[in-house]
Amino acid sequence: MAEARDPEGVTNERSTDSELFSSLFGGAPTHVARAPGRVNLMGEHIDYCDLAVLPMATQHEAQLQFRARDDGLVRITNQDPEFDPVEFELGPAIAPGSRGDWRNYLQAPANELARQFAIWRGLDGVLSSDIPVAAGLSSSTALVNAVGLALAEVNEVLLAPAQFAELMAEAEHYTGTRGGGMDQAIGFGARAGHAACIAFSPLRMRHVAVPEDWCFVVADTGVRAEKSGRAQGPYNQRRSECEEALDVVVQFALQHDRLPTRPRGYPDLLRMLGAAEVISLAEEALEARLLKRFRHVVTEADRVDQAVDCLLSADLAGFGTLMDASHGSLYADYQVSSRELDELVAIAREGGGAGARLTGAGFGGCIVTLADRGTVGAVLETLAEQYFEPRGMGDGIDDRLFVAVPSAGASVGNSVAAAGA
C-alpha cells in the first residue's frame, strides 16, 4: 500500500484555501491533507460482505489545509458556503449532529482516533473538495480520511495505510451508515495509473495497471443520493438483508448436511462450496427477496475475479460485458438503480461504450462506462447530447461528465502556504 505521508511536499494546493485560512485564523496553514474520491469499477455492495472489490481513486480530492492548536478544539470551515463552519471539542464520545449534518463526517474520525489513542490536540482548518457530493464517488469518505490524517499528524499518531483505512472505515459508522471498507481502503492505498483489487478481513490490496488506452468515463445523473439522508435507510437495509440471507443459507446447509462446518462469512462459504452450489442451496433456502440479494452478492463476487483477469489481459470487450451484467444484477436483484441511472447506462452503450453500470451505492449518483481512446470522444458527445443538454445541464458539464484518471491515495505534507508566509 502507498505511504500516507507525501515526501515530496505538495503541488496543486488550492491558494484560495490558504487566503481563507489566514482571514479566519490568522497566519498560514502549516500542513495540507489530501484524500481522493474513487470510482468503483466492479464489485458493488459486496465490500460489507467481506468480498473483494475493484475500485480506483480519481483525480478529484478533498484538501484540508490546517494548523495544530494547543488545545482540543477542532475548527473547520468549508470553502463551499453550503456547509456551515464546524467547531467541536476532541474526545472519545463526541455527540453526533443531526442526521444529514456534514459535521458528522468531521467528528467521525476525531471520535474514533480519540477512542483508540487518547489524542488531545485539535486544529484549525479550511476544507475544500471537488468530488461531486452524494454521487457515489466517495465524497464523504474523502472528508473522513482527510480529517483523520490531519488529526493523526498533529497528534503524532503513526499508522500504516492499511491500519488507517480499517480505522477510518470503523470511524465512518459514526454517521449512521453501516458501510463496508472499500472507500477508505482505496482512499489510502491507491496507486497512480492503477485500479486495486481489495480483499477484506484482513485488508489486502493487489494493484492492477489500467491499460493505457482504456478510458473509464463517469457520468452523474445529477440526482443526489445522500447516504446521510434518504439513501441511508435503503443502504443499511441491503446490508442487513445480506446478513440475514447468509444466516438462513448456512443454517439450511448445516441442517441438510451440505456443509461440513459453519463458515465464517461469505468468502468462506464460497471457498467451501463454490458459487454454483451456493446459489443452488440459496434457491432452496431463501424466499424471493432475500434470494435476489444473495444472488447479486455471489454473482458480483465472481464478476470481480473475472474483471481483474480482463484488466490483466487488456480484454476491453470482456470487461464491458461484465459491467453490463453487473448493472443488470444491481437493477433486477439488488434493486438499487433508478430511472436516470438506467437511462445513462443505455445512452453510454448506444454511444459506443463497451459496457456500463451504476457505480457506488446507487439510488441516484453516477454511472461508469468503458471506452478505448478512439471511441471515448463519441461516448462523451452522445452522453452530453442525449442526457445533459436536453435537461439544461450543459453548463459546468465537466464536473458531471469526465474521464476518470487513476490516481494516488491520500497523503499529508507541508503546506506551500507555510513556506511562503
Q: Which stretch binds ligand NG1 (CB under 6 A): 174-182, 188-196, 210-218, 402-410?
A: 174-182
Q: CA distances (Å), 56 to each of 139, 304, 322, in order? A: 14, 13, 17
Question: Rule CB under 6 A: is residue 153 a binding residue for ligand NG1?
Answer: no
Name which of 115 and 224 has its Cβ closer to ligand NG1.
224
Q: Is 163 helix (H, G, I), strand (E, B) or coil?
A: helix
Kind and range of the H or E run holding 142: helix 139-154
Q: What residues form DSSP beta bridges with 5?
A: 412
Q: How many residues bind ligand NG1 (CB under 6 A)?
A: 18
What is the separation of C-alpha 79 from the centre of its chain, rounded to a whole number of angstroms? 22
> Which residues between 353 and 372 bind ligand NG1 (CB under 6 A)?
360-361
- Do the beta carbons of residue 26 and residue 407 sit within 8 Å? no
Distance CA 413, CA 313 (A): 37
Q: Which stretch binds ligand NG1 (CB under 6 A): 6-14, 179-187, 264-272, 306-314?
A: 179-187
> Which residues between 212 and 251 bind ligand NG1 (CB under 6 A)?
227
Q: Which stretch binds ligand NG1 (CB under 6 A): 12-20, 44-52, 300-308, 348-356?
A: 44-52
Q: Is 268 an active-site residue? A: no
What 8-state DSSP symbol labels residue 312?
A: H
Name which of 197 and 384 has its Cβ closer to ligand NG1.
197
Catalytic residue among 47, 124, 183, 333: 183
Q: Which three cell numbers stand for residue 140?
A: 464523504
Q: Which among 194, 165, 158 has a CA at the least distance from the CA of 179? A: 165
Q: Which among 369, 366, 340, 399 has a CA at the least distance from the CA of 131? A: 399
Q: Which among 391, 303, 363, 293 has a CA at the least distance from the CA of 136? A: 363
Is the preceding peptide bond at 390 cis, omega within 30 degrees of 0? no
Question: Rule CB under 6 A: is residue 104 a binding residue for ligand NG1?
Answer: no
Question: Rule CB under 6 A: is residue 182 a binding residue for ligand NG1?
Answer: yes
Minimum CB–partner distance for residue 40 and ligand NG1 (Å): 6
Q: Which stretch binds ligand NG1 (CB under 6 A): 63-71, 175-183, 339-347, 368-376?
A: 175-183
Minimum CB–partner distance for residue 331 and ligand NG1 (Å): 14
What are the residues binding ligand NG1 (CB under 6 A)? 40, 44-45, 47-48, 136, 138, 140-141, 172, 177, 179-180, 182-183, 227, 360-361
Residues assigned a catalytic role: 183
